[in-house]
Amino acid sequence: MRIEELVIEGFKSYATRTVISGWDSEFNAITGLNGSGKSNILDAICFVLGISNLSAVRAQSLQDLVYKRGQAGISKASVTIVFDNADREKSPIGYENCKEITVTRQVIIGGRNKWLINGHNATQQNVQNLFQSVQLNVNNPHFLIMQGRITKVLNMKPPEILAMIEEAAGTRMYEEKKKKAIETIEKKDKKLDEIIKILDEEITPKLNKLRDEKKKFIEFQKVNTELDHVRQLVIAYDFKRYEDTLSRSDAELLERRNRVSELQNTDQELKRTILELEKRILEIQRRRQKDGGKYHELDTNLKSFQKELVRLSAQVELKEKTVRDEEKQRDDIKLQREDAISSLAQNRVKVQKMENDFGNANSDHEAKVENLRKLEELLQTLSTGLSAKEGHQNGYMDQIAAAKSAATSAVTEVEQQKLRMKHLQKEVKELEPKARKAEKDNKKLVEGLESSRGAVATIAAEIDRMNFDPESEVDLLRRKTTQQDQINELQEKLEQLQAELSRYQFQYKDPSPNFDRSQVKGIVAELVSVPPKHKEASVALEIAAGGRLYNVVVETESVGSQLLKNGQLKRRVTIIPLNKIQSFKISAERLNAAKRIGKDDVNLALNLIGYDDEVQAAMNFVFGSTLICKDGNMAKELAYHPTVRLRTVTYEGDEYDPSGTLRGGSQSNTAGVLHKMQSATELQKQLNKQKQLLAAIDKELEQCKKSGQQFKVLKQQLELKQHEVNLAEGQINSNANAQLIQQLEAAQKEIEEAQQIIERAGRAKAEAEAEVKRLEAEMAEFSGNKEQKLKSIEADVKKAKAAIAKGSIEFKKRHAEIQLSKAELEQSEKDIKVLEQQIVNADIAVIQAKAEFCSLAEEATEMKESVNNAQSALDAEARRLAVFDDETKGHEAERKRSETQQESTQLELQKAQHELQHFMTDQEAAKARVQDMLKEHAWIRDQKQYFGLPDSQYDFEKYNIGESKKKLKHLEEKYETLRKKTDMKVMDTIDRYEKKETSLNQMLNTVKKDKKKIQQTIEELDKHKRQALDKTWKTVNVDFGAIFGDLLPGNTAKLEPPEGQTVNDGLEVKVCLGGVWKQSLTELSGGQRSLIALSLILSLLRYKPAPMYILDEVDAALDLSHTQNIGQMLRTRFTGSQFIVVSLKEGMFNNANVLFRARFRDGVSTVEVRLRPACFTQTLWLMSLSRISGSPSALGGRKTRRMPTLCTM
């Protein structure tokens, strides 16, 4: 978008309508004398572009823009610009379809601004948006440098320079739009805050109050419904429980009475049996005492022999251990000797290497000392009173002679070593056939040695892998003895307990073929376990269970029938079928009441035992209706408490019944049946565990014996193979073949040494020759520059002394290390001799230990035979007396069983009598309660058939009745409280308020979402802006330095953020003149500052050209050459934008394609136009009320009216 025509009327010095056409699309210049109105043309353009800072157009107010401030009869200033908009890609947004864009701005004295776009009224904002979209922001212009402002570009602060970069990047308009959008959001936020305040302070509090009322109303309805349900459930449960109590049959009453009679008869029969057994035991003991004297004598002899055998066995074990220890110690010493020999060989090699290295280091050190001596002699010679010529010749000549002598010596050494090598090679040639024959003769010996060494390594590795400890077998034997003693002790205890519990064992024969014994679970006492923490309640649990403790539990009633008919039972039993048994379990209400009274001192008997889930029904039947208490006071309180009224038993065995009966007193000294069965079970578990441990020990012992045997065999094989290795090594080292091979190896080694000497001598020769050349060069150099060379030699002397001092320290350190290593070598040789003597001593100790071991082993064998003889005699006597012991033991066991059975029978009898009385009392109480409930609740008769049915309203398994009764009381209290406080009309009121609140909140949420979306968009655009700005800065920075370098060759400039800041904070100009970066731009001349400003503006143009650039006397401070360069650069290199340049210098405007010359005549400014001579040869004059006219080709093809005056230049 470029200027095609400018129409000025009444603006500043242009009093009449002045039409300026023929603008070039690239380079236009305006010139004229001072005060002619040339800058007013630029002010007119800025006026239309919408400049707001009037001081930039040299005015204080809009009235100053009108010709003579309106005092000449002209009251309006009007400026119109016609823009060529043919390039649609660079058109303003929204004007892509307009070939031309006409923008007019008018200002009337005492009136207002008026804007027109294409003849239509527009706002200032519309005009600013139009120009900003094509980078013509006149209020932050990088395209406009007005008169006197060229150097102000360099005086700009970093944010202002950054604004120019932003304008070039196209982000400036976004910033202004963003600022206005943020201001609008802030205004809307204030309005939102007011609405939220109304919601928070008026509507929400009222709604919260109504919601609370609504909750109370809903809760009241819920409580009312739940109260009716829970009340009926509790009443139904109580009624069902009392009916179940009444439903117990007369057959159960008869069974209880028969059980009491049976137990009384059993008690009398057991008393008679015990008296008879005691008489038999006394008779047997009397007969045994007559024949028992000899047994004690034999037993004493056996113990004496066994004690001696144990002593001898211990000594044999100790001596065997001593033999193993001595052998191990001898083997360890041998290994130490081998390690020492190996280490000695390594140390010898190490010492030899250290000595060689030390010799080389010594040679280097001596060479350095000799070099220092030469340098000092040279320096002394050159610095003495001799003439300069003689001095340097003598000093250098001596060194050259020495170097040549060294080269000659090196040559001589090479020749000598070559002769020596020739002789040695001849000797090697003679020895090689003999050595090959010797190696062939020794091959079998070497192969045998390597084979033996491999066998030694293999056997040693196998022994290591075994990881066998000879002491482990003895330790396992001790552990086995201890373990067997523990098993015997446990076995004896278990047998004793099993004998006492034999009467409770349930024995039967299969009632039918293929009978499944898993259907018979056993007696209740066997199925119950008492945890250790409840062990003290064992007696109470036995009293609570009574005779049911010995009932037999089976799966079904058919299994029980088969056992009774065909099981050939030895005693009467009561059978509990799991599928038919109906238990009376204490209600949760009564149990909770008991827990509240007794707390941790009371428990349901069922909760104190452990059992399998499959016998749950039987356990409920036996233990589900009795409470266990710690003391009598608590038991008594619970038994007679009106809410509880349950049978209770104390830990001491005292029983309290709600009917009023109390049973207790003394109890048996022996432990209860439950405790004994529990103990038997624990003993059996311990016994099984100990047997498993014993089996593991036996297995480990067997493996240990096998490993021990293998270890001994491997040990013998290792000693044999090691002996073979020693013999083979001695044989190989002592024969003539080995000496011949060694002689060949020594000759070959000498050849290698001679070769190394030749190489060293060759290097010495080359170094000496190089030294001769160096000295001759230095001597020549010294002749030309004596003082400099003396200083150089002095520096070399100092360096050489420092190197020698440093090397002396390292030399001494290495010497000390060699001496230490030699001392260690001598000590190793002494240690080997000591180890060899220790091996001899160890062999003697092993022989002595083995002899002592054999002697003790023979004594132990003889004593073992004596023990066996004594044991045989004692066993024979024991078998003779065993008849009496067996008979006595059988009667004793039978008596204990009878006494235990009698105690249990008496206890069971007491329990059976109490249960009978309790049963009769419960029947009477239940009958009375059922009648009362039927009278009180009429609905029971209609609903009772559903009581207890699964998935019904009265499913008692589904609900916890105790918790339900608590809940009933709580619901009744809550119902009364809510009934008084609930507003029944709250539902209608709250509905209206909630709809209103919902509507307002939806509106608020919508606004907040829109705000959030705008903020997110701003953040995203900020990110893109920063990226574009960074890219623009880097590109402009490169062009800025390049253009400035073109204008002022050999120099450069750049833009960079202030120290400690980023690009987003601002940019400042840095200039490099003559390779030095200037700390401040004040150091620059006026011309240099102008060039810097122009370079910056042109670099912005090259990045993203604005359609138009206006430069007002930017060359004022420049000399003619720089002005000419700038003009040529604008004409030839910047062809993408329209330049309008005001200049007074021909070097500038002669380069313009179109030149406008302003003149001031009769108080009015006029303009004439001149085209470049290369294109045209005529000049057109414009006077007042005139228009410029030209050929269509010269003026961009635009047609205008004919000029009133035409002159030819």
Confidence of residue 889 (pLDDT cuts 50, 70, 90): confident
* pLDDT of 3 over the 90 cut: yes
| Residue 719 neighbours by CB under 8 Å, 6+ apart | none
CA angle 1149, 1151, 1155 (to 5 degrees): 45
Query: Which tens digits make up the pLDDT trace of 447-506?
Result: 777 777 788 888 887 877 777 776 677 677 778 778 888 888 888 888 777 777 766 777
In the prediction, which pLDDT does 714 show?
80
C-beta separation of 1113 from 145 below 8 A? no
In the prediction, which pLDDT does 1199 show?
36
Query: Which tens digits make up the pLDDT trace of 915-942?
Result: 777 777 777 777 777 888 888 888 888 8
In the prediction, which pLDDT does 145 show?
76
Q: Please compute the mean of the pLDDT values over residues 693-718 and round it to a whole number.
A: 81
| pLDDT above 90: percentage of residues in the chain | 6
* Residue type for position 377: E
In the prediction, which pLDDT does 391 show?
40
Confidence of residue 911 (pLDDT cuts 50, 70, 90): confident
Q: Please compute the mean of the pLDDT values over residues 952-958 and round it to a whole number.
A: 74
In the prediction, which pLDDT does 860 show?
78
* pLDDT of 533 over the 80 cut: yes
- Reading the block at residue 1189, the tokens are 């006219």
Model confidence, pTM: 0.36
* pLDDT of 868 over the 90 cut: no
* Residue type for position 335: L
Domain range summary for the chain, segments of one domain joined by +: 1-143+1116-1174, 144-215+993-1105, 489-693
Confidence of residue 782 (pLDDT cuts 50, 70, 90): low
Confidence of residue 601 (pLDDT cuts 50, 70, 90): confident
Helix (H), strand (E), coil (C) string for 145-161: ECCCCCHHHCCCCHHHH
Owner of token pair 């070399």: 796
Q: Please compute the mean of the pLDDT values over residues 383-408 and round it to a whole number.
A: 62
Mean per-residue pLDDT of the chain:
78
* pLDDT of 678 over the 80 cut: no
| Residue 1008 neighbours by CB under 8 Å, 6+ apart | 192
Q: At what angle do helices 172-198 and 986-1047 cross, to 10 degrees?
A: 160
* pLDDT of 394 over the 70 cut: no
Q: At what angle do helices 616-623 and 538-545 cross, to 10 degrees?
A: 90
Confidence of residue 670 (pLDDT cuts 50, 70, 90): very low
SS3 (DSSP) at 650: strand
Q: Could you tell me the CA-to-CA distances from 716 to 328, 335, 470, 913 in Å, in that order? A: 12, 16, 15, 83
Q: Which of 788-792, 880-884, 1176-1180 has the least mean pLDDT? A: 1176-1180
In the prediction, which pLDDT does 1053 show?
92
Q: Which of 2-11, 947-956, 1054-1063, 1162-1171 has the least mean pLDDT? A: 947-956
* Residue type for position 77: A
Q: Please compute the mean of the pLDDT values over residues 417-421 and round it to a whole number.
A: 84
In the prediction, which pLDDT does 149 show?
66
Confidence of residue 1200 (pLDDT cuts 50, 70, 90): very low
Q: Please compute the mean of the pLDDT values over residues 1124-1137 and round it to a whole number.
A: 80
Beta strands in 479-622 (DSSP E): 520-523, 552-554, 575-577, 602-604
Specify the CATH number of the domain 144-215+993-1105.
3.40.50
* Residue type for position 816: A
Specify the CATH number of the domain 489-693.
3.30.70.1620
* Residue type for position 447: E
Confidence of residue 384 (pLDDT cuts 50, 70, 90): low
Confidence of residue 19 (pLDDT cuts 50, 70, 90): very high
Q: Please compute the mean of the pLDDT values over residues 388-414 and round it to a whole number.
A: 69
The CATH architecture one would assign to domain 1-143+1116-1174 is: 3-Layer(aba) Sandwich (3.40)
- Say how far apart CA 1171 and CA 1153 lie, in whole Å: 6
Q: Please compute the mean of the pLDDT values over residues 792-802 and round it to a whole number.
A: 77
Confidence of residue 1207 (pLDDT cuts 50, 70, 90): very low
In the prediction, which pLDDT does 382 show?
66
Q: Please compute the mean of the pLDDT values over residues 138-152 and round it to a whole number.
A: 71
Query: Which tens digits make up the pLDDT trace of 61-112?
Result: 888 889 988 888 888 999 999 999 988 888 888 888 899 999 999 999 877 7
Q: Could you tell me the CA-to-CA distances from 495 to 232, 498, 675, 887, 893 in Å, in that order? A: 58, 5, 16, 17, 10
Domains 1-143+1116-1174 and 489-693 share a fold: no
Query: Which tens digits make up the pLDDT trace of 650-661?
Result: 988 888 887 666
Confidence of residue 1089 (pLDDT cuts 50, 70, 90): confident
- Say how far apart CA 762 and CA 411 lie, in whole Å: 7
- Say how far apart CA 33 and CA 723 lie, in whole Å: 127
Q: Which of 831-845, 1054-1068, 1166-1180 has the least mean pLDDT? A: 1166-1180
SS3 (DSSP) at 1176: coil
